[in-house]
Amino acid sequence: MLIAFEWFWRRLSCGERLHAAGVSDSTMVEINRNVRILAIAYACEPRKGSEPGAGWIWSRMLACLGETWVITRSNNRSAIEEGLRNLSPDVGLRFVYVDLPEWARFWKRGQRGIRLYYLLWQIAALRRAHQLLGQLDFDLVWHLTLANAWLGSTGSLLPHPFVYGPVAAGPGMPWGLMPALGIRGTLTRAFANLQRPRVATSILWPGSPGGEPG
Residues 125 and 198 in one domain: no
Q: Tell me the CATH number at 42.
A: 3.40.50.2000
Partners of 97 in beta bridges: 72
The rounded distance, in Å, linking the Cα atoms of 101 and 79 is 21
Partners of 38 in beta bridges: 69, 141
Could you count the other beta carbons within 10 Å of the beta carbon of residue 206? 10
Judge whether 147 lies within some domain: yes
The rounded distance, in Å, linking the Cα atoms of 187 and 174 is 13
How would you write the pLDDT of the chain (214 residues) with one tens digit per residue? Answer: 344 444 444 544 555 555 555 555 544 434 455 789 999 999 999 988 888 999 999 999 999 889 999 999 998 899 999 999 988 877 889 999 999 888 777 777 767 777 888 889 999 999 999 999 999 999 999 999 988 777 788 999 999 999 987 777 656 667 777 788 788 877 777 776 665 554 344 434 444 433 333 3
Q: Count the residues in the chain.
A: 214
Judging by DSSP bridges, how do beta strands 67-73 and 93-98 pair with one another? Answer: parallel
The closest of 95, 23, 105 to 64, measured between CA atoms, is 23
Judge whether 28 lies within some domain: no
Judge whether 188 lies within some domain: yes
Q: With residue 65 as reference, give the H or E element that holds it.
A: helix 50-65
Residue pair 102/54 in contact (Cβ under 8 Å)? The answer is: no
Judge whether 11 lies within some domain: no
DSSP E strands, 112-184: 140-145, 162-164
Cis omega before residue 146 (within 30°)? yes
Residues 182 and 166 in one domain: no
- Which amino acid is present at 40? I
Q: Residue 209 class from Cβ within 10 Å (0-12 exposed, 13-18 middle, 19+ buried)? A: exposed
Judge whether 6 lies within some domain: no
What SS3 class is residue 207? coil
User: What pLDDT is stored for residue 193 in this prediction?
Assistant: 67
Judge whether 18 lies within some domain: no
User: What pLDDT is stored for residue 127 in this prediction?
Assistant: 95
User: What pLDDT is stored for residue 106 in this prediction?
Assistant: 73
Domain that holds residue 126: 34-170
Residues 113 and 148 in one domain: yes
Residues 203 and 132 in one domain: no
Residues 192 and 97 in one domain: no
Q: Residue 178 class from Cβ within 10 Å (0-12 exposed, 13-18 middle, 19+ buried)? A: middle
- Which amino acid is present at 120? L
Domains contained in the chain, number:
2
Residues 110 and 83 in one domain: yes
pTM above 0.85, yes or no: no
